[in-house]
Amino acid sequence: GYYYTQLTDYNIDVSLTTSEHSGMHRYQFNDSHEANVIVDLMHRDHLLQHELNLDQLSKGEISGQRLSKAWAQRQSLFFVAQFSEIPKLEVEEKKEGKTVKAALRFSLDEDQILMVKVGISAVSMENARVNLEEEIPGWSFENVKQEAEEKWEKELSKIEGQGGTDVEKTNFYPA
């Protein structure tokens, strides 16, 4: 899959694409050489347990785990995120002695793009790392996007439909 949006308040172009257990982000900060990314484990649903590891930040990597309660009583998610640039920790917020939120700052050259790769797993941080390394070994956003589109096309081409308006066809089978 692929998703694009512009964060108009900050003039940031955001592109996202995925593999099966990993994702890739592409951020273009059009008005600034200072790029900020907030990692917030509290956002979304009720957080039962958390861990945000910043010990590999100097190598451009963070990892962690969040156990939450929403549609599932105990939803576990482990992640490893790698940045194309080395961030500087600006703000760190803790809860129960553990980091739950971090603001990362990146110094970028003009027109430089910040890339982020994230591997996930419901089993372990090591599995999240393996998923990331196997599914997105490099930094080519276009390759990951193309592979995702090819997989979707292969699966969706198994379905054939007849009739319907153009709008109905688009809703059923997105372009």
87-103 pLDDT, tens digit each: 999 999 998 888 999 99
Rounded Cα–Cα distance for residues 72 and 98 (Å): 24
Q: How confident is the model at residue 17 (pLDDT cuts 50, 70, 90)?
A: very high
Mean pLDDT of all residues belonging to the chain: 91
- Taking a C-beta distance cutoff of 8 angstroms, is the pair 106, 39 a contact? no
Instruction: Mark out the alpha helices in the chain (DSSP H runs).
Output: 125-135, 141-156, 166-172
pLDDT score at 130: 98
- Taking a C-beta distance cutoff of 8 angstroms, is the pair 1, 22 a contact? no
Rounded Cα–Cα distance for residues 102 and 21 (Å): 23
27-81: pLDDT as tens digits: 999 988 889 999 999 888 888 999 999 999 999 999 999 999 988 999 999 999 9
pLDDT score at 1: 85
pLDDT score at 126: 97
- pLDDT of 175 strictly over 60: no
The Cβ-side half-sphere exposure at 41, using a 13 Å CA radius, reads 27
pLDDT score at 174: 61
* Dihedral pair phi/psi, residue 126, rounded to 5°: -60, -40
The average pLDDT across 95-116 equals 91
126-164: pLDDT as tens digits: 999 999 999 999 999 999 999 988 888 888 778 777 778
CA-to-CA separations, 40 to 37, 50, 85, in angstroms, rounded: 10, 11, 19
- Spatial neighbors of 79 by CB under 8 A, at least 6 apart, are 63, 64, 65, 118, 119, 120, 121, 125, 128
Tokens of 47: 């957080």
C-alpha closest to that of 12 among 37, 25, 31:
31
